[in-house]
Chain A
């Protein structure tokens, strides 16, 4: 921890970084994101297993982008999403430095996209066991049971769109949810509109989701929405090969095609 604070202060001091995004404790001892601009403030930094927020979502904000030279204290899931964003050409205006702690508890500083790529590939996160268990359980169900499951879950959704706000891959400035000519997503709180919204979200994230699980974690209604994108992730990996957030030249599976793609479902 001390090591991280010293390193962060050093980076801010020598101008490598203008803005550092990391974690600190709030008055209630919760770990919350913090934005540090001077070396003197670096002593509030905290980083441990409980720091779960995916901070890469802030990299889309104008106020953050204006700082240009940005430091990010991040876990490997966050680094993976940064890599995916880089491959989608979203962070071209930024100079990024990453601070992370590896499995052995040592501080690692990554100064370039290539170093980031190598680190992520060496420490690639796998699907969380509890999610895998849930996916296997759902896939083993009959269609009717699955329908009942999602109908029950999605009836709880209040369309707060927190899952969209927290997602680093949801960076469109205009979203289909706000489009009202035609009204794609019904605004009233009923299951039919929720079904549309979550189908749309999963489709738009298919082949791009890096499976950080933030959407499911922050859902105030406790809906496991991350399972939809996790399932799509696995299917697309199986069908088209390639992993999301694996390399700088990852590309987007839905943006391309192969002449030999599966078509046994087409008459």
Chain B
């Protein structure tokens, strides 16, 4: 590979806490890794597990899922429901042998711009050291060809 590997990270965040936290990081002029693509959701309870799979399918190397701290949910209980769902989803992925450590779950409040920047930096570092995520994309013939052309898969 000619260029050095830069991971693509997709962040699924809630509108009320983490998105505002990321906004705070921006307005505070905090510098953090530019590998992250933020997708804003009304609530973590809205983040369907299929979206996470879809992100990996479309070439994400890592995923961040983040929302309000427990008891801080704008809709009272969205994050509590989400917490259960992630827990179950994570154990299912583990059972299927999917590298679930590529998904980072976190709580970031609207006041935690610094935590957000650190979270992105940490996740980017860890994914960078893990290398590109090809496991999932090699399951798909067309994507496999694409990876071969890029020289990532053999």
Given contacts A147-B135, A192-B136, contact A138 B95 (CB under 8 A): yes
Q: Which residues of A contact B70 (CB under 8 A)?
A: 259, 263
Interface size of A by CB at 8 A reads 46
| Residue contact A262 to B87, C-beta cutoff 8 Å | yes
B145 to chain A, nearest CB (A): 12
Bound state CA distance, A148 and B85, in angstroms?
25
Bound state CA distance, A146 and B93, in angstroms?
10
Bound state CA distance, A261 and B80, in angstroms?
8
Given contacts A143-B97, A195-B139, A206-B92, contact A261 B53 (CB under 8 A): no
Q: Which residues of B contact A253 (CB under 8 A)?
A: 84
| Residue contact A182 to B54, C-beta cutoff 8 Å | yes
| Residue contact B119 to A267, C-beta cutoff 8 Å | yes
Bound state CA distance, A166 and B119, in angstroms?
44
| Residue contact A196 to B88, C-beta cutoff 8 Å | no
Bound state CA distance, A184 and B52, in angstroms?
11
- A58 interface residue, CB < 8 Å from B? no
| Residue contact B140 to A190, C-beta cutoff 8 Å | yes
| Residue contact A266 to B96, C-beta cutoff 8 Å | no
Q: Which residues of A contact B35 (CB under 8 A)?
A: none
Which of A139, A141, A150, A254 meets B88, CB within 8 Å?
Answer: A254
B3 to chain A, nearest CB (A): 26
| Residue contact A266 to B139, C-beta cutoff 8 Å | no
Q: Which residues of B contact A202 (CB under 8 A)?
A: 92
Within 8 A of A (CB), among B111-147: 119, 135-137, 139-141, 143
Which secondary structure characterizes the binding site on chain B?
Answer: helix
- 1/0 per position for A247-266, CB-CB distance to B under 8 A? 00000011001010111011
Given contacts A147-B96, A192-B143, contact A266 B88 (CB under 8 A): no
B115 to chain A, nearest CB (A): 9
Among residues of A, the one whose C-beta sits closest to the C-beta of B49 is A203
Given contacts A184-B54, A199-B53, A254-B88, contact A148 B104 (CB under 8 A): no
| Residue contact A266 to B105, C-beta cutoff 8 Å | yes
| Residue contact A143 to B94, C-beta cutoff 8 Å | yes
Among residues of A, the one whose C-beta sits closest to the C-beta of B123 is A267
Contacts between the two chains (Cβ within 8 Å), count: 111
- 1/0 per position for A135-157, CB-CB distance to B under 8 A? 00011010111111111000000
Bound state CA distance, A145 and B77, in angstroms?
38
Q: Which residues of B contact A236 (CB under 8 A)?
A: 88
Bound state CA distance, A146 and B19, in angstroms?
36
Within 8 A of B (CB), among A149-203: 149-151, 176, 182, 184, 186, 190-193, 195-196, 198-200, 202-203
A238 to chain B, nearest CB (A): 10
Could you say which of A14-22, A102-110, A227-235 contacts chain B?
A227-235
Among residues of A, the one whose C-beta sits closest to the C-beta of B65 is A266
A139 to chain B, nearest CB (A): 8
Bound state CA distance, A77 and B135, in angstroms?
37
Within 8 A of A (CB), among B85-112: 85-99, 104-107
Chain B residues within 8 Å of A, Cβ to Cβ:
49-50, 53-54, 57, 70-71, 77, 80-81, 83-99, 104-107, 119, 135-137, 139-141, 143
A-B contact pairs, 17 of them (CB 8 A): A151-B97, A176-B50, A195-B53, A199-B49, A200-B49, A206-B88, A206-B92, A228-B92, A232-B95, A253-B84, A257-B83, A262-B87, A263-B87, A265-B87, A266-B83, A267-B105, A267-B107
Question: Beyond A195-B53, A203-B89: 19 further Cβ-contacts under 8 Å?
Answer: A143-B97, A147-B99, A148-B97, A190-B141, A191-B139, A192-B140, A192-B143, A199-B93, A200-B50, A231-B92, A231-B95, A232-B91, A232-B95, A240-B84, A254-B85, A254-B88, A267-B104, A267-B105, A267-B106
